[in-house]
A and B are shown apart, each in its own frame.
Chain A
Amino acid sequence: MSPSDALLATTIREESGRLVTALYRRFGDFDVAEEAVQGAVAEAVTSWRRDGTPRNPAAWLTTAAQRNALDLLRSRGRQARVTDRLAATYDEEAPTAVGEDPDDRLPLLFACCHPALAPEVRLALTLRAVIGLTTPQIARAFLVNEQTLAQRIVRAKRKIVATGIDLKVPDDLDERLPDVLAVVYLAYNEAFVASTGSTHDRDLGADAVWLAEVVARSLPDRAEAWGLAALLTIQHGRAASRFTPNGDLVLLRDQDRSRWDAAAFKRATEHLERAASLHAPGPYQLQAAIAMCHAEAPSWAETDWLQIVALYGFLIREDPSPVVRLNGAIALAQLGERQAATALADVETLAPQLAGYHLWHATRAELLRLAGRDAEAADADRQALELTTNDAERRLIQTRLRKHPLTDGS
Protein backbone atom coordinates (compact mmCIF):
# COMPACT_ATOMS: atom_id res chain seq x y z
CA MET A 1 0.00 0.00 0.00
CA SER A 2 1.37 3.44 -0.94
CA PRO A 3 1.14 6.23 1.69
CA SER A 4 -1.66 7.96 -0.25
CA ASP A 5 -3.59 4.66 -0.46
CA ALA A 6 -3.13 4.16 3.27
CA LEU A 7 -4.45 7.66 3.96
CA LEU A 8 -7.33 6.99 1.60
CA ALA A 9 -8.13 3.75 3.43
CA THR A 10 -8.10 5.31 6.90
CA THR A 11 -10.09 8.35 5.77
CA ILE A 12 -12.72 6.13 4.21
CA ARG A 13 -12.84 4.00 7.34
CA GLU A 14 -13.19 7.01 9.63
CA GLU A 15 -15.78 8.82 7.56
CA SER A 16 -17.96 6.23 5.80
CA GLY A 17 -20.12 5.11 8.68
CA ARG A 18 -20.58 8.64 9.96
CA LEU A 19 -21.58 9.88 6.52
CA VAL A 20 -24.09 7.09 6.01
CA THR A 21 -25.65 7.89 9.38
CA ALA A 22 -25.71 11.63 8.71
CA LEU A 23 -27.24 11.26 5.24
CA TYR A 24 -29.80 8.82 6.60
CA ARG A 25 -30.80 11.30 9.30
CA ARG A 26 -31.11 13.98 6.63
CA PHE A 27 -32.99 12.12 3.94
CA GLY A 28 -34.58 9.26 5.85
CA ASP A 29 -33.54 6.66 3.27
CA PHE A 30 -30.87 4.17 4.28
CA ASP A 31 -30.42 2.80 0.76
CA VAL A 32 -29.83 6.26 -0.72
CA ALA A 33 -27.45 7.19 2.10
CA GLU A 34 -25.41 4.02 1.72
CA GLU A 35 -25.25 4.18 -2.09
CA ALA A 36 -24.24 7.82 -1.96
CA VAL A 37 -21.30 7.10 0.33
CA GLN A 38 -20.22 4.07 -1.72
CA GLY A 39 -20.25 6.26 -4.82
CA ALA A 40 -18.13 8.87 -3.07
CA VAL A 41 -15.65 6.21 -1.98
CA ALA A 42 -15.32 4.95 -5.55
CA GLU A 43 -14.82 8.52 -6.82
CA ALA A 44 -12.22 9.17 -4.14
CA VAL A 45 -10.19 6.11 -5.10
CA THR A 46 -9.98 7.25 -8.72
CA SER A 47 -9.67 10.96 -8.16
CA TRP A 48 -7.18 10.91 -5.28
CA ARG A 49 -4.88 8.54 -7.08
CA ARG A 50 -5.02 10.70 -10.19
CA ASP A 51 -4.91 14.20 -8.70
CA GLY A 52 -3.33 13.55 -5.33
CA THR A 53 -4.94 13.67 -1.91
CA PRO A 54 -7.14 16.73 -1.29
CA ARG A 55 -6.25 19.11 1.55
CA ASN A 56 -9.26 18.05 3.60
CA PRO A 57 -10.07 14.45 2.61
CA ALA A 58 -13.02 14.17 5.01
CA ALA A 59 -14.69 17.28 3.61
CA TRP A 60 -14.06 16.05 0.07
CA LEU A 61 -15.85 12.78 0.83
CA THR A 62 -18.70 14.57 2.57
CA THR A 63 -19.30 16.89 -0.37
CA ALA A 64 -19.19 14.04 -2.88
CA ALA A 65 -21.53 11.88 -0.81
CA GLN A 66 -24.04 14.69 -0.32
CA ARG A 67 -24.07 15.44 -4.04
CA ASN A 68 -24.58 11.74 -4.80
CA ALA A 69 -27.45 11.53 -2.33
CA LEU A 70 -29.25 14.43 -3.98
CA ASP A 71 -28.66 12.95 -7.43
CA LEU A 72 -29.98 9.60 -6.31
CA LEU A 73 -33.11 11.12 -4.81
CA ARG A 74 -33.70 13.12 -7.99
CA SER A 75 -33.17 10.15 -10.27
CA ARG A 76 -35.51 8.05 -8.20
CA GLY A 77 -38.02 10.80 -8.84
CA ARG A 78 -39.32 10.83 -5.32
CA GLN A 79 -39.68 13.82 -3.09
CA ALA A 80 -38.57 16.02 -5.96
CA ARG A 81 -39.60 19.22 -4.29
CA VAL A 82 -38.06 18.27 -0.98
CA THR A 83 -34.84 17.48 -2.77
CA ASP A 84 -34.71 20.81 -4.53
CA ARG A 85 -35.35 22.64 -1.32
CA LEU A 86 -32.61 20.69 0.45
CA ALA A 87 -30.26 21.26 -2.46
CA ALA A 88 -30.78 24.99 -2.14
CA THR A 89 -29.82 24.95 1.54
CA TYR A 90 -26.72 22.89 0.80
CA ASP A 91 -25.13 25.58 -1.27
CA GLU A 92 -25.19 27.84 1.74
CA GLU A 93 -23.71 25.31 4.10
CA ALA A 94 -20.00 24.79 4.24
CA PRO A 95 -19.25 21.09 3.86
CA THR A 96 -18.26 19.91 7.29
CA ALA A 97 -17.35 16.46 8.46
CA VAL A 98 -20.49 15.26 10.14
CA GLY A 99 -20.52 13.96 13.68
CA GLU A 100 -17.41 13.90 15.84
CA ASP A 101 -18.83 11.50 18.39
CA PRO A 102 -17.72 7.90 17.79
CA ASP A 103 -21.20 6.87 18.94
CA ASP A 104 -22.76 7.95 15.66
CA ARG A 105 -21.46 4.80 13.98
CA LEU A 106 -23.07 2.57 16.54
CA PRO A 107 -26.72 2.97 15.48
CA LEU A 108 -25.66 2.11 11.93
CA LEU A 109 -23.79 -0.95 13.16
CA PHE A 110 -26.83 -2.19 15.07
CA ALA A 111 -29.01 -1.76 11.98
CA CYS A 112 -26.55 -3.71 9.80
CA CYS A 113 -26.46 -6.50 12.39
CA HIS A 114 -30.22 -6.52 12.93
CA PRO A 115 -31.72 -9.94 13.73
CA ALA A 116 -34.29 -9.40 10.95
CA LEU A 117 -31.40 -9.68 8.45
CA ALA A 118 -29.97 -13.06 7.48
CA PRO A 119 -26.80 -13.74 9.50
CA GLU A 120 -24.72 -14.27 6.35
CA VAL A 121 -25.41 -10.80 4.99
CA ARG A 122 -24.80 -8.86 8.22
CA LEU A 123 -21.03 -9.01 7.88
CA ALA A 124 -20.99 -7.88 4.25
CA LEU A 125 -23.40 -5.04 4.93
CA THR A 126 -21.39 -3.93 7.96
CA LEU A 127 -18.17 -3.87 5.99
CA ARG A 128 -19.77 -1.79 3.26
CA ALA A 129 -21.85 0.65 5.26
CA VAL A 130 -19.84 1.05 8.46
CA ILE A 131 -16.27 0.69 7.18
CA GLY A 132 -16.72 1.74 3.56
CA LEU A 133 -15.39 -1.38 1.88
CA THR A 134 -16.55 -1.83 -1.71
CA THR A 135 -18.40 -4.96 -2.83
CA PRO A 136 -15.44 -6.17 -4.98
CA GLN A 137 -13.12 -5.72 -1.97
CA ILE A 138 -15.45 -7.76 0.24
CA ALA A 139 -15.87 -10.44 -2.42
CA ARG A 140 -12.09 -10.74 -2.79
CA ALA A 141 -11.43 -10.77 0.94
CA PHE A 142 -13.90 -13.57 1.60
CA LEU A 143 -13.44 -15.43 -1.67
CA VAL A 144 -17.11 -15.20 -2.61
CA ASN A 145 -18.79 -14.50 -5.92
CA GLU A 146 -19.09 -10.76 -6.39
CA GLN A 147 -22.44 -10.80 -8.15
CA THR A 148 -24.09 -13.03 -5.57
CA LEU A 149 -22.70 -10.82 -2.82
CA ALA A 150 -23.96 -7.66 -4.53
CA GLN A 151 -27.46 -9.12 -4.84
CA ARG A 152 -27.50 -10.14 -1.20
CA ILE A 153 -26.46 -6.65 -0.13
CA VAL A 154 -29.14 -5.04 -2.30
CA ARG A 155 -31.81 -7.30 -0.81
CA ALA A 156 -30.66 -6.58 2.73
CA LYS A 157 -30.69 -2.82 2.17
CA ARG A 158 -34.16 -3.00 0.67
CA LYS A 159 -35.32 -4.94 3.68
CA ILE A 160 -33.94 -2.32 6.05
CA VAL A 161 -35.82 0.39 4.17
CA ALA A 162 -39.06 -1.55 3.59
CA THR A 163 -39.41 -3.00 7.07
CA GLY A 164 -38.58 0.22 8.89
CA ILE A 165 -35.42 -0.88 10.64
CA ASP A 166 -34.25 2.34 12.24
CA LEU A 167 -30.63 3.30 12.83
CA LYS A 168 -30.47 3.30 16.60
CA VAL A 169 -28.84 1.70 19.57
CA PRO A 170 -31.55 -0.70 20.77
CA ASP A 171 -33.13 -0.67 24.21
CA ASP A 172 -32.52 -4.39 24.64
CA LEU A 173 -28.77 -4.01 24.40
CA ASP A 174 -28.08 -7.26 26.27
CA GLU A 175 -29.93 -9.19 23.63
CA ARG A 176 -28.59 -7.37 20.58
CA LEU A 177 -24.94 -6.66 21.44
CA PRO A 178 -23.84 -10.31 20.98
CA ASP A 179 -24.99 -10.15 17.34
CA VAL A 180 -22.86 -7.05 16.75
CA LEU A 181 -19.82 -8.50 18.48
CA ALA A 182 -20.21 -11.72 16.49
CA VAL A 183 -20.08 -9.78 13.22
CA VAL A 184 -16.96 -7.84 14.29
CA TYR A 185 -15.34 -11.11 15.37
CA LEU A 186 -16.19 -12.66 12.00
CA ALA A 187 -14.86 -9.62 10.17
CA TYR A 188 -11.48 -10.37 11.68
CA ASN A 189 -11.47 -14.13 11.52
CA GLU A 190 -12.89 -14.53 8.05
CA ALA A 191 -10.27 -12.13 6.78
CA PHE A 192 -7.63 -14.00 8.74
CA VAL A 193 -8.46 -17.32 7.18
CA ALA A 194 -9.03 -16.03 3.68
CA SER A 195 -5.88 -13.93 3.65
CA THR A 196 -2.78 -15.68 2.45
CA GLY A 197 -0.54 -12.72 3.20
CA SER A 198 -1.06 -11.20 -0.22
CA THR A 199 -1.53 -7.43 -0.25
CA HIS A 200 -5.05 -6.14 -0.43
CA ASP A 201 -5.90 -2.47 -0.87
CA ARG A 202 -7.35 -2.53 2.63
CA ASP A 203 -5.99 -4.23 5.73
CA LEU A 204 -9.16 -5.97 6.80
CA GLY A 205 -7.64 -7.26 10.02
CA ALA A 206 -6.72 -3.71 11.08
CA ASP A 207 -10.20 -2.53 10.07
CA ALA A 208 -11.81 -5.17 12.29
CA VAL A 209 -9.61 -4.26 15.27
CA TRP A 210 -10.49 -0.63 14.73
CA LEU A 211 -14.20 -1.44 14.64
CA ALA A 212 -13.97 -3.53 17.81
CA GLU A 213 -12.36 -0.55 19.55
CA VAL A 214 -15.02 1.82 18.24
CA VAL A 215 -17.69 -0.44 19.75
CA ALA A 216 -15.88 -0.77 23.08
CA ARG A 217 -15.27 2.97 23.41
CA SER A 218 -18.89 3.69 22.53
CA LEU A 219 -20.23 1.17 25.06
CA PRO A 220 -17.57 1.49 27.77
CA ASP A 221 -19.57 -0.39 30.41
CA ARG A 222 -19.83 -3.57 28.33
CA ALA A 223 -17.13 -6.01 29.42
CA GLU A 224 -17.47 -8.30 26.41
CA ALA A 225 -17.00 -5.38 24.01
CA TRP A 226 -13.63 -4.70 25.66
CA GLY A 227 -12.93 -8.43 25.68
CA LEU A 228 -13.44 -8.62 21.93
CA ALA A 229 -11.31 -5.53 21.35
CA ALA A 230 -8.54 -7.16 23.42
CA LEU A 231 -8.85 -10.48 21.60
CA LEU A 232 -8.67 -8.99 18.12
CA THR A 233 -5.86 -6.63 19.10
CA ILE A 234 -3.76 -9.59 20.29
CA GLN A 235 -4.57 -11.69 17.23
CA HIS A 236 -3.65 -8.81 14.96
CA GLY A 237 -0.44 -8.26 16.92
CA ARG A 238 0.60 -11.78 15.91
CA ALA A 239 -0.63 -11.50 12.32
CA ALA A 240 2.74 -10.62 10.79
CA SER A 241 4.25 -13.94 11.82
CA ARG A 242 1.32 -16.08 10.68
CA PHE A 243 2.42 -16.33 7.08
CA THR A 244 5.78 -16.73 5.36
CA PRO A 245 6.59 -14.31 2.55
CA ASN A 246 5.37 -17.05 0.17
CA GLY A 247 1.98 -17.06 1.85
CA ASP A 248 2.56 -20.33 3.71
CA LEU A 249 0.80 -20.67 7.03
CA VAL A 250 3.03 -20.82 10.13
CA LEU A 251 1.61 -22.55 13.19
CA LEU A 252 1.74 -20.78 16.54
CA ARG A 253 4.47 -23.11 17.83
CA ASP A 254 6.74 -22.22 14.90
CA GLN A 255 6.07 -18.50 14.71
CA ASP A 256 8.89 -15.97 15.00
CA ARG A 257 7.85 -14.30 18.24
CA SER A 258 10.26 -11.40 17.77
CA ARG A 259 7.91 -10.19 15.03
CA TRP A 260 4.97 -9.94 17.39
CA ASP A 261 3.71 -6.44 18.10
CA ALA A 262 4.48 -5.62 21.75
CA ALA A 263 2.67 -2.28 21.52
CA ALA A 264 -0.51 -4.06 20.42
CA PHE A 265 -0.21 -6.46 23.36
CA LYS A 266 0.13 -3.52 25.72
CA ARG A 267 -3.04 -1.97 24.34
CA ALA A 268 -4.81 -5.32 24.58
CA THR A 269 -3.76 -5.61 28.23
CA GLU A 270 -5.38 -2.24 28.90
CA HIS A 271 -8.57 -3.41 27.17
CA LEU A 272 -8.59 -6.61 29.21
CA GLU A 273 -8.02 -4.75 32.48
CA ARG A 274 -10.88 -2.46 31.58
CA ALA A 275 -13.05 -5.52 30.91
CA ALA A 276 -12.04 -7.21 34.15
CA SER A 277 -12.90 -4.09 36.17
CA LEU A 278 -16.52 -4.48 35.03
CA HIS A 279 -16.84 -7.92 36.68
CA ALA A 280 -18.89 -9.48 33.90
CA PRO A 281 -16.79 -12.30 32.44
CA GLY A 282 -17.68 -13.81 29.10
CA PRO A 283 -16.33 -15.87 26.20
CA TYR A 284 -14.48 -13.04 24.42
CA GLN A 285 -12.67 -12.05 27.61
CA LEU A 286 -11.68 -15.65 28.24
CA GLN A 287 -10.44 -16.09 24.67
CA ALA A 288 -8.50 -12.85 25.02
CA ALA A 289 -6.97 -14.08 28.29
CA ILE A 290 -5.91 -17.31 26.56
CA ALA A 291 -4.46 -15.35 23.64
CA MET A 292 -2.62 -13.14 26.16
CA CYS A 293 -0.99 -16.23 27.74
CA HIS A 294 0.40 -17.08 24.30
CA ALA A 295 1.43 -13.48 23.66
CA GLU A 296 3.41 -13.36 26.90
CA ALA A 297 5.11 -16.74 26.47
CA PRO A 298 8.71 -16.63 25.24
CA SER A 299 8.18 -19.86 23.30
CA TRP A 300 5.69 -22.67 22.69
CA ALA A 301 7.51 -24.89 25.20
CA GLU A 302 7.62 -22.18 27.87
CA THR A 303 3.91 -21.40 27.56
CA ASP A 304 1.85 -21.46 30.75
CA TRP A 305 -0.30 -24.40 29.60
CA LEU A 306 -1.75 -25.01 33.04
CA GLN A 307 -3.20 -21.51 33.05
CA ILE A 308 -4.50 -21.94 29.51
CA VAL A 309 -6.13 -25.28 30.35
CA ALA A 310 -7.81 -23.64 33.36
CA LEU A 311 -9.08 -20.79 31.16
CA TYR A 312 -10.43 -23.30 28.64
CA GLY A 313 -12.30 -24.94 31.51
CA PHE A 314 -14.13 -21.65 32.14
CA LEU A 315 -14.60 -21.01 28.43
CA ILE A 316 -16.14 -24.45 27.82
CA ARG A 317 -18.58 -23.76 30.65
CA GLU A 318 -19.64 -20.53 28.91
CA ASP A 319 -19.52 -21.90 25.39
CA PRO A 320 -19.50 -25.70 25.16
CA SER A 321 -19.38 -25.66 21.35
CA PRO A 322 -17.38 -28.45 19.69
CA VAL A 323 -14.77 -26.08 18.25
CA VAL A 324 -14.00 -24.63 21.69
CA ARG A 325 -13.72 -28.14 23.14
CA LEU A 326 -11.39 -29.06 20.29
CA ASN A 327 -9.10 -26.14 21.09
CA GLY A 328 -9.26 -26.99 24.78
CA ALA A 329 -8.09 -30.51 23.96
CA ILE A 330 -5.07 -29.17 22.10
CA ALA A 331 -4.04 -27.17 25.17
CA LEU A 332 -4.60 -30.14 27.46
CA ALA A 333 -2.37 -32.34 25.32
CA GLN A 334 0.58 -30.00 26.01
CA LEU A 335 0.59 -30.87 29.73
CA GLY A 336 2.04 -34.34 29.31
CA GLU A 337 1.62 -37.83 27.90
CA ARG A 338 -1.27 -38.85 30.14
CA GLN A 339 -3.16 -35.62 29.42
CA ALA A 340 -2.48 -36.04 25.69
CA ALA A 341 -4.21 -39.40 25.82
CA THR A 342 -7.22 -37.81 27.57
CA ALA A 343 -7.20 -35.04 24.95
CA LEU A 344 -7.26 -37.57 22.12
CA ALA A 345 -10.20 -39.35 23.76
CA ASP A 346 -12.00 -35.97 24.07
CA VAL A 347 -11.36 -35.22 20.42
CA GLU A 348 -12.71 -38.62 19.36
CA THR A 349 -16.01 -37.86 21.14
CA LEU A 350 -16.45 -34.77 18.95
CA ALA A 351 -16.57 -36.85 15.75
CA PRO A 352 -20.35 -36.64 15.28
CA GLN A 353 -20.28 -32.85 15.28
CA LEU A 354 -16.92 -32.13 13.66
CA ALA A 355 -16.30 -34.93 11.14
CA GLY A 356 -16.82 -32.42 8.33
CA TYR A 357 -14.40 -29.86 9.80
CA HIS A 358 -10.85 -30.02 8.47
CA LEU A 359 -9.28 -28.78 11.71
CA TRP A 360 -10.87 -31.63 13.65
CA HIS A 361 -9.01 -34.09 11.41
CA ALA A 362 -5.81 -32.03 11.57
CA THR A 363 -5.94 -31.90 15.38
CA ARG A 364 -6.71 -35.58 15.60
CA ALA A 365 -3.72 -36.23 13.34
CA GLU A 366 -1.46 -34.30 15.68
CA LEU A 367 -2.66 -36.13 18.76
CA LEU A 368 -2.44 -39.52 17.05
CA ARG A 369 1.12 -38.68 16.07
CA LEU A 370 1.94 -37.78 19.68
CA ALA A 371 0.63 -41.21 20.64
CA GLY A 372 2.90 -42.82 18.06
CA ARG A 373 -0.01 -43.90 15.83
CA ASP A 374 1.59 -42.53 12.67
CA ALA A 375 -0.43 -44.44 10.07
CA GLU A 376 -3.75 -43.29 11.54
CA ALA A 377 -2.31 -39.76 11.83
CA ALA A 378 -1.47 -39.70 8.13
CA ASP A 379 -4.99 -40.88 7.30
CA ALA A 380 -6.44 -38.09 9.42
CA ASP A 381 -4.20 -35.52 7.73
CA ARG A 382 -5.35 -36.75 4.35
CA GLN A 383 -8.96 -36.28 5.41
CA ALA A 384 -8.12 -32.77 6.61
CA LEU A 385 -6.49 -32.05 3.27
CA GLU A 386 -9.60 -33.17 1.43
CA LEU A 387 -11.85 -30.93 3.50
CA THR A 388 -9.88 -27.69 3.61
CA THR A 389 -10.75 -25.01 1.08
CA ASN A 390 -7.92 -22.71 2.04
CA ASP A 391 -4.70 -22.82 0.02
CA ALA A 392 -2.38 -21.87 2.86
CA GLU A 393 -3.84 -24.53 5.14
CA ARG A 394 -3.67 -27.10 2.37
CA ARG A 395 0.04 -26.45 1.83
CA LEU A 396 0.70 -26.76 5.56
CA ILE A 397 -0.95 -30.17 5.76
CA GLN A 398 0.87 -31.33 2.63
CA THR A 399 4.19 -30.35 4.20
CA ARG A 400 3.27 -32.25 7.34
CA LEU A 401 2.40 -35.33 5.32
CA ARG A 402 5.78 -35.16 3.58
CA LYS A 403 7.60 -34.78 6.91
CA HIS A 404 5.86 -37.78 8.31
CA PRO A 405 6.00 -40.41 5.59
CA LEU A 406 4.02 -43.53 6.18
CA THR A 407 5.99 -46.04 8.20
CA ASP A 408 3.74 -49.01 7.72
CA GLY A 409 4.99 -49.59 4.19
CA SER A 410 1.70 -48.82 2.43
Chain B
Amino acid sequence: MKYVFMFTSDPAQLAGVSEDDAQAVYGKIYGWFQENASVITDSGAELQPVETATTVKHGGVVVDGPFNEAKEVIGGFSVIEVEDMDAAIALAKTWPHLEFPGVAVEIRPMVEDYSQFE
Protein backbone atom coordinates (compact mmCIF):
# COMPACT_ATOMS: atom_id res chain seq x y z
CA MET B 1 0.00 0.00 0.00
CA LYS B 2 1.05 3.57 -0.60
CA TYR B 3 1.29 6.03 2.24
CA VAL B 4 2.29 9.66 2.51
CA PHE B 5 4.56 10.55 5.40
CA MET B 6 4.10 14.11 6.53
CA PHE B 7 7.12 15.25 8.50
CA THR B 8 6.06 17.78 11.08
CA SER B 9 7.74 19.74 13.82
CA ASP B 10 7.18 22.52 16.30
CA PRO B 11 9.65 25.28 15.38
CA ALA B 12 9.48 26.72 18.90
CA GLN B 13 10.70 23.44 20.40
CA LEU B 14 13.34 22.97 17.71
CA ALA B 15 14.76 26.42 18.48
CA GLY B 16 16.50 24.93 21.52
CA VAL B 17 18.41 22.36 19.43
CA SER B 18 22.09 23.17 18.86
CA GLU B 19 23.40 23.71 15.36
CA ASP B 20 25.72 20.68 15.68
CA ASP B 21 22.88 18.37 16.74
CA ALA B 22 20.72 19.66 13.91
CA GLN B 23 23.50 19.02 11.39
CA ALA B 24 24.09 15.51 12.75
CA VAL B 25 20.43 14.61 12.32
CA TYR B 26 20.39 16.15 8.88
CA GLY B 27 23.14 13.71 7.92
CA LYS B 28 21.12 10.83 9.34
CA ILE B 29 18.09 11.92 7.34
CA TYR B 30 20.17 11.77 4.18
CA GLY B 31 21.18 8.23 5.13
CA TRP B 32 17.56 7.35 5.91
CA PHE B 33 16.47 8.17 2.37
CA GLN B 34 19.30 6.08 0.96
CA GLU B 35 18.66 3.09 3.22
CA ASN B 36 14.95 3.07 2.49
CA ALA B 37 15.18 3.89 -1.20
CA SER B 38 13.50 0.61 -2.15
CA VAL B 39 10.22 1.55 -0.41
CA ILE B 40 10.26 5.29 -1.13
CA THR B 41 8.31 5.69 -4.36
CA ASP B 42 8.59 9.46 -4.29
CA SER B 43 10.99 11.20 -1.96
CA GLY B 44 8.65 14.19 -2.10
CA ALA B 45 9.96 17.52 -0.99
CA GLU B 46 11.49 19.36 1.88
CA LEU B 47 9.64 22.63 2.38
CA GLN B 48 10.99 26.11 3.04
CA PRO B 49 10.25 27.34 6.59
CA VAL B 50 6.64 28.02 7.55
CA GLU B 51 7.29 31.78 7.49
CA THR B 52 7.29 31.49 3.69
CA ALA B 53 3.78 30.00 3.58
CA THR B 54 1.00 31.73 1.70
CA THR B 55 -2.54 30.39 1.75
CA VAL B 56 -5.38 30.90 -0.70
CA LYS B 57 -8.72 30.49 1.05
CA HIS B 58 -12.32 29.97 0.02
CA GLY B 59 -13.43 32.86 -2.17
CA GLY B 60 -9.93 33.45 -3.48
CA VAL B 61 -8.73 35.31 -0.38
CA VAL B 62 -4.95 35.30 -0.22
CA VAL B 63 -3.39 35.41 3.24
CA ASP B 64 0.07 35.30 4.72
CA GLY B 65 0.80 32.14 6.71
CA PRO B 66 -0.04 28.43 6.78
CA PHE B 67 -3.55 27.00 6.36
CA ASN B 68 -4.06 26.36 10.08
CA GLU B 69 -3.10 27.98 13.33
CA ALA B 70 -1.39 24.98 14.92
CA LYS B 71 2.05 25.25 16.52
CA GLU B 72 3.14 22.23 14.53
CA VAL B 73 4.02 22.76 10.91
CA ILE B 74 4.57 20.46 7.96
CA GLY B 75 8.22 20.47 6.93
CA GLY B 76 8.07 17.99 4.10
CA PHE B 77 6.49 14.85 2.75
CA SER B 78 7.38 11.58 1.05
CA VAL B 79 5.45 8.77 -0.58
CA ILE B 80 6.29 5.25 0.55
CA GLU B 81 5.01 1.88 -0.53
CA VAL B 82 5.06 -0.97 1.99
CA GLU B 83 3.11 -4.11 2.82
CA ASP B 84 0.72 -2.72 5.41
CA MET B 85 0.15 -0.19 8.17
CA ASP B 86 2.44 -2.02 10.61
CA ALA B 87 5.31 -1.72 8.15
CA ALA B 88 4.52 1.97 7.63
CA ILE B 89 4.54 2.58 11.39
CA ALA B 90 7.79 0.66 11.81
CA LEU B 91 9.42 2.76 9.08
CA ALA B 92 8.07 6.04 10.50
CA LYS B 93 9.57 5.14 13.89
CA THR B 94 13.03 5.17 12.32
CA TRP B 95 12.70 8.79 11.06
CA PRO B 96 15.89 10.36 12.47
CA HIS B 97 14.33 13.74 13.23
CA LEU B 98 12.10 12.08 15.88
CA GLU B 99 14.92 12.38 18.39
CA PHE B 100 13.98 16.05 18.81
CA PRO B 101 10.98 17.09 20.95
CA GLY B 102 7.88 18.26 19.09
CA VAL B 103 8.73 16.29 15.96
CA ALA B 104 6.09 13.91 14.56
CA VAL B 105 5.42 11.88 11.44
CA GLU B 106 1.82 11.71 10.27
CA ILE B 107 1.00 8.63 8.18
CA ARG B 108 -1.84 8.86 5.68
CA PRO B 109 -2.88 6.14 3.25
CA MET B 110 -3.13 7.31 -0.36
CA VAL B 111 -6.22 6.85 -2.45
CA GLU B 112 -5.15 4.26 -4.96
CA ASP B 113 -8.39 2.66 -6.06
CA TYR B 114 -10.30 5.03 -8.32
CA SER B 115 -12.75 2.39 -9.53
CA GLN B 116 -15.54 3.96 -7.47
CA PHE B 117 -15.29 7.07 -9.67
CA GLU B 118 -15.44 5.18 -12.96
A residues within 8 Å of B by Cβ?
78, 114-116, 162-166, 168, 170-172
CB of A221 to closest CB in B, whole Å: 21
Nearest CB on A from B100, distance (A) = 22
Interchain CB contact under 8 A, A164 and B109: yes
| A78 touching B115, Cβ below 8 Å | yes
Asked if B116 and A166 make an inter-chain contact with CB atoms under 8 angstroms apart, the answer reads no
20 A-B residue pairs with Cβ-Cβ distance under 8 Å, sorted by A, are A78-B115, A78-B116, A115-B89, A162-B109, A163-B107, A163-B109, A164-B1, A164-B3, A164-B84, A164-B88, A164-B109, A165-B84, A165-B85, A166-B83, A166-B84, A166-B85, A168-B84, A168-B86, A171-B86, A172-B90
Interchain CA distance A170-B89 in the complex, whole Å: 12
List B residues at the A interface (Cβ < 8 Å). 1, 3, 83-86, 88-90, 107, 109, 115-116
Q: In the complex, what's the smallest C-beta–C-beta distance from A69 to chain B, in angstroms?
A: 19
Asked whether A170 and B116 contact (CB < 8 A) given A162-B109, A163-B109, the answer is no
Instruction: Please give the distance in Å from A75's CB to the nearest CB on chain B.
Output: 14
A35: min CB distance to chain B, Å: 18
State in angstroms the CA–CA spacing of A165 and B89 once bound together.
Answer: 10
- Determine the residue in chain A with the shortest Cβ distance to B113: A78
Q: Assess the B109–A116 pair: CB atoms within 8 A.
A: no
Residues of A within 8 A of B109 (CB): 162-164
6 further interface pairs, Cβ-Cβ under 8 Å (given A78-B116, A172-B90): A114-B85, A163-B107, A164-B3, A164-B109, A166-B83, A168-B86
Q: Which residues of B contact A170 (CB under 8 A)?
A: 86
Chain A residues with CB below 8 A from B85, complex form: 114, 116, 163-166
CA–CA, A170 and B109, complex, Å: 20
Contact A165 B86 (CB under 8 A): yes
Using Cβ atoms and an 8 Å threshold, which residues of chain B touch A168? 84, 86
Across the interface, name the chain A residue whose C-beta is closest to B107: A163
What is the CA–CA distance of A171 and B109 in the complex, to the nearest angstrom?
Answer: 21
The CA-CA distance from A370 to B3 in the complex, in Å, is 61
Question: Which 8 A/B pairs are nearest by Cβ-Cβ distance?
Answer: A164-B1, A166-B84, A165-B85, A164-B84, A164-B85, A163-B109, A163-B85, A162-B109
What distance in Å separates the Cβ of B90 from its nearest Cβ neighbour in chain A? 8
The answer for the CA separation of A114 and B86 in the assembled complex, in Å, is 9
**CB nearest to A161 among chain B residues:** B109
A171 to B83, CA, bound (A): 14
- Nearest-CB distance from B91 to chain A (Å)? 13
Inter-chain contacts of B83 with A (CB < 8 A): 166
Q: Given the complex of chains A and B, what is the CA–CA distance between A164 and B116 in angstroms?
A: 18
For B1, the chain A residues whose CB sits under 8 A away are: 164
Q: Is the CB of A166 within 8 A of B86?
A: yes
Q: Bound state CA distance, A171 and B93, in angstroms? A: 15
Please give, as numbers and ranges, the residues of chain B lying within 8 Å of A115 by CB-CB distance.
Answer: 89
Q: How far is the CB of A336 from chain B (nearest CB, A)?
A: 48
Contacts of B116 in A (CB 8 A): 78
Chain B residues near A172: list those with CB within 8 A: 90
Residues on B with beta carbons closer than 8 Å to the beta carbon of A166: 83-86
Residues in B neighbouring A78, C-beta threshold 8 A: 115-116
